[in-house]
Chain A
């Protein structure tokens, strides 16, 4: 099983600042088969990024994904008020499909 570890667990930032979220995999994630999601309270997760760096339909370009192998990053260039949420990574390189524990981005 590929275990995904996200860091930091939480991040306190102000609107307009940038955010860098990390996701480390316990094994090689082939073909960059990694996705990122945003989840707000009372809502289901929303797909942001798949294939490590491909933005999903309708996702603003302030969200970007990068990385390969075992190290992946989600970058939010300038935080908007609606970006404060929990972010999860998910690998689909192998079964079982697994998620990271999440990073909470809070308003400072």
Chain B
């Protein structure tokens, strides 16, 4: 059974870089059938997609965050990572990783299933 687990610091100072890793177990991240995505949810608020990556290295991002986001994949460790630079209090959120099925050869976009449990990142000095 596929499981995803986010890990990383729970507290980041303003202007610094948020770094998270999603460890995938129960399936290989090398599969060509999936993208792997990051989504965040500020406390008590809704969901915002951040970006996604394929094991080939293909990526796509939310334009609202594009200039600050890097997503990478490490197939040898079966994990993928998120970096968000120049964070502010507005980046305080529960960060989730999730798998995305590839539904069409012409589109990398898809739903998210399953999700990790999420990790809370607070931006504060």
Contact = CB atoms under 8 A, between A and B. Distances in A.
Given A95-B60, A96-B62, A96-B64, A45 B47 contact: yes
A93 B109 contact: yes
Q: What's the interface size class on A, roughly?
A: 20 to 34
B109 A33 contact: yes
Interface string B95-125: 0101000011001011111111110000000
A92 interface: yes
B116 A44 contact: yes
B46 interface: yes
B63 interface: yes
Provide the main secondary structure of the chain B interface: loop
B34 interface: no
A1 B63 CA distance: 10
Contacts of B110: 92
Contacts of A107: none
Nearest to A45: B115
A102 B46 CA distance: 7
A47 B109 contact: no
Most chain B CB neighbours (cut-off 10 Å) among A33, A45, A94: A45
B83 to A, nearest CB: 19
Interface of A: 1, 31, 33, 35, 37, 43-47, 50-51, 56, 88, 90, 92-102
List the 4 closest pairs (A to B, CB-CB), nearest first.
A44-B115, A47-B113, A35-B111, A92-B109
Given A44-B116, A95-B62, 20 more contacts: A31-B104, A37-B112, A44-B96, A44-B98, A44-B114, A44-B117, A46-B115, A47-B111, A47-B113, A47-B114, A50-B111, A51-B103, A56-B113, A90-B47, A95-B109, A96-B61, A96-B62, A97-B62, A99-B46, A101-B46
